[in-house]
Amino acid sequence: MDLCTKSLKSLPIWIQLPDLDLNYWGLESLSKVSSTLGIPLKTDKYTQEKSKIRYARVLVDMQLDGHFPEFIEFFNEHDILISQQVHYEWVPVKCKFCGTYGHVEDVCKKKTITRKEWRVKQPLQVMGQENTPQHIHDKAASPQPAINQMLLRKKLWDDLASIKPFKGP
């Protein structure tokens, strides 16, 4: 069996119609309400028996044009416009690059990755100094700054030790 996901035009998707008035829980009413989304195929056992009334659940064969509305509208028997919320138990993902269902653009295998070319960085030129490799190496390897800092710290500690504590009047 060869599944060509590019040729898919529709898929059966379970929808939930939360807080739907019990007047619309009959098969004919549910069929009319859910037909705004696609072709209603069946309801689940709990919807048929009206035993779990938090939401009506309907399997609808929906077109895969990317339109999955959060609300549907229909006129009731008194010609009043009803706005009904829709929850989809699953929504198919479609790649925006290749148009195939089942993956998103970030992981598309048909998308070519452009890699940046590696280039050697040029050394910075400081005015008045040579930046030859030997000169840079000599500056980096010089222990002189560390020795100067150690001597400065030792002198500060000696100065602190020589200070006599202040005694009040």
pLDDT in tens, 50-68: 999 999 999 999 998 768 9
pLDDT, one tens digit per residue, over 15-50 is 999 999 999 999 999 999 999 999 999 999 999 999
In this structure, how many other beta carbons lie within 10 angstroms of the beta carbon of residue 15? 23
- DSSP assignment of 82-133, as one string? EEEE-EES----B-TTT--BTS-GGG-TTSPPPPPPP-PPPPP--TTS---H
Average pLDDT, whole number, for the chain? 82
At 136 the pLDDT is: 52
Beta strand 87-88 with 10-18 is antiparallel
Consecutive H or E run containing 146: helix 144-162
Query: How far is residue 144 from each of residues 1, 104, 128, 134, measured CA to CA in Å?
Result: 76, 58, 21, 17
Q: Which residue has the tokens 């710290």?
A: 153
Pairwise CA distance, residues 38 & 114, whole Å: 41
Q: In degrees rounded to 5, what are phi and psi of residue 123?
A: -70, 150
Assign 1 a pLDDT band (cuts: 50, 70, 90): very low
